[in-house]
Amino acid sequence: MGGINTVELTIVVVLFLLVTVLGFLASRWRRADNLMHLDEWGLGGRSFGSWITWFLLGGDLYTAYTFVAVPALMFGAGAAGFFAVPYTIVIYPLVFLVVARLWSVSHVRGFVTPADFVRSRFDSPTMALLVAITGIVATMPYIALQLVGIEAILKAMGVNGDLPLIIAFVILAIYTYNSGLRAPALIAVVKDALIYLTIIVAVIVIPSKLGGWGAIFGAAEEKFSAGAGVILPATGQLGYATLALGSALALFLYPHSITGVLAASNRDVLKRNMSALPIYSLALGFIALLGFMAIAAGVTPIGTDGNTIVPVLFQQMFPSWFTGVAFAAIGIGALVPAAIMSIAAANLFTRNIYKEYLKKDATPQQEAKVAKIASLVVKLGAVLAILGLNPQFSIDLQLIGGVIILQTMPSVALGLYTRWLHRGGLIAGWFAGMATGILLVYNIPKLNPDGTVAREHFGGSAFALSKFGFDTKLAVYAGLIALLVNLVVTLAVTAVLRAMRVPDGVDGTAESDYTAEREDPTVRDLPDPLESVPPGLEGGARAGR
């Protein structure tokens, strides 16, 4: 790069300062009398309507990493990189079966995290602890990856060093500590407005400058002519389909996704959002095609960082002032999900580790204070990870995150529909699925473009069926194999334990909890944050708003 682009940097800084102000003002937006309660700080008072929930979930699920990594994958691998689009389409009908029931039971019983639900449903502190640890571990590299998007735009603007990135996350940490979930919810509106503006302009202006979509796809086809990259080869279709399905099943098991769901004011808000959120999938399709546009434009990444493909493309196609707007969209797009993820991880630590094992008589005020501190620690850990580790290693960790978060599906998703699964079976299944998943991804090699092995382990998530002895070149998403092992072990151990009449605990929920609407008398107002709730009575006393 030829030095710092002052126009781009100025616009990015101005827009970043704007959202910083919004982040601090958010503490006064729909403010309760006292934010020192996890329902207020960590879930925004459970009061977000359709529009805010739409922006919050969209800002949560469609991250800065998506904006830079999906086009980069399309640029380097062709059609295989398009997997993110079908999985964000199929997810909403699937997740609708889960989120409405989870919202209802959580608002009746006062659950703040998915581990809260598992603790009450299966009367198992151990399984709840496993769900909490899984969620925190899977979320940490996801937060670190948001910094990859910020690093990409900093490199493109010619800004060197880690100080700007550190400053951005320090400010993020401060206003998140101050305002809780209200901060990213409010900032998500600005983030999505900038991203939609960028996408609309990009899909109109860039193709017109490159000679139309025919020229764009022609350039991509020429680049991938030897490897059939524009059209998925037959040997890659099973891996593509299972990766899309597995990713769809995993996405709403992540704690940050569930946090956005529980912050909704009622079930109708979620119904409308499950219908409207696929609009983001349309935008994601255009974002993915930026990779093919970069091929047609002859873009060369900065150094060896493929994630700079989109920033460099924007610099080639747009004047500096609009490029600055686009870079701000990517940068702010990193802050919103990072904030939500850190809050979700903090909620898990506070409710399911601190309160369960360290201070059972913690008051709501103490819980909120611990959650605030935990959110700072989580962000600090993410910054240290991205500064100390190779970004590619963080990407590999996130691939593992998707595999391991799937192992909470039997207890969280299936638990919303059935109590038959035994807590002992769920614990055994979790260990079996986790061991299988980590072993599989450990044995997946990283390949060079010419097919040679770059490194032996943690090279992806597609496990070759030939390693099971099958005479085929097909591969399957490792997360689904691990989930299948988890389910088989869970069912088998459950059957044995029930045949032996081993006690399965007391279900802390009622069937009517899962269909309760906002107006239902069991969905009660928040308690006084200053009042202590005796241990063991959280379910009934801390009803959701």
3-state secondary structure (DSSP) of residue 455: strand
Q: Which two tokens stand for residue 290?
A: 């930026």
How many residues are present in the chain?
545
Residues 6+ apart with CB under 8 A from 264: 46, 48, 49, 53, 103, 270, 273
Environment class of 445 (CB within 10 Å of its CB; exposed 0-12, middle 13-18, buried 19+): middle
Q: Which two tokens stand for residue 43?
A: 């879930």
The C-alpha atoms of residue 210 and residue 219 are separated, in whole angstroms, by 10
Residues 6+ apart with CB under 8 A from 496: none
Do the beta carbons of residue 455 and residue 393 sit within 8 Å?
no
Q: Which of 542, 527, 476 is nearest to 119 (CA)?
A: 542
- Tell me the C-alpha to C-alpha distance, in Å, between residue 519 and each of 103, 110, 265, 524, 544: 13, 15, 11, 9, 12
Go through the domains of the chain in sequence order and give each one's CATH number: 13-408 (1.20.1730.10)
Q: Which of 120, 114, 104, 110 is nearest to 515 (CA)?
A: 104
Q: Which of 193, 172, 198 is nearest to 183 (CA)?
A: 172
The C-alpha atoms of residue 241 and residue 226 are separated, in whole angstroms, by 23
The C-alpha atoms of residue 10 and residue 23 are separated, in whole angstroms, by 20
Q: Is 298 left (phi over 0), alpha (psi -120 to 50) or beta?
A: left
Q: Each residue of 37-93: pLDDT tens digit?
A: 888 888 888 889 999 999 888 877 787 777 888 888 888 888 878 888 888 888 888
Environment class of 298 (CB within 10 Å of its CB; exposed 0-12, middle 13-18, buried 19+): exposed
Do the beta carbons of residue 141 and residue 397 sit within 8 Å?
yes
Predicted local distance difference test score (pLDDT) of residue 31: 63
If you search the block for the tokens 């980590």, which residue do you land on?
A: 438
Q: Which two tokens stand for residue 76?
A: 């380097």
Q: What angle do CA 17, 23, 29 make, to 5 degrees?
A: 135
If you search the block for the tokens 């919050």, which residue do you land on?
A: 56
Q: What is the DSSP letter of 42?
A: T
Predicted local distance difference test score (pLDDT) of residue 103: 94
The C-alpha atoms of residue 425 and residue 489 are separated, in whole angstroms, by 7
128 HSE (CA, 13 A, CB side): 25
Do the beta carbons of residue 331 and residue 153 sit within 8 Å?
yes
Residues 6+ apart with CB under 8 A from 273: 50, 53, 54, 57, 264
CB neighbours (10 Å) of residue 237?
Answer: 11
- Tell me the C-alpha to C-alpha distance, in Å, between residue 188 and each of 68, 182, 437: 18, 10, 34
List the chain residues with pLDDT less than 50: 1, 527-545
CB neighbours (10 Å) of residue 192?
Answer: 22
The C-alpha atoms of residue 513 and residue 541 are separated, in whole angstroms, by 15
Phi, psi dihedrals of residue 271, rounded to the nearest 5° = -60, -45
H helices of 82-234, where?
A: 84-109, 114-122, 125-157, 163-179, 182-210, 213-223
The C-alpha atoms of residue 179 and residue 19 are separated, in whole angstroms, by 13
Long-range own/partner contacts, residues 223-228 (CB < 8 A, 24 or more apart): 223/295, 224/78, 227/78, 228/78
Predicted local distance difference test score (pLDDT) of residue 215: 92
Q: What angle do CA 494, 497, 503 make, to 5 degrees?
A: 110
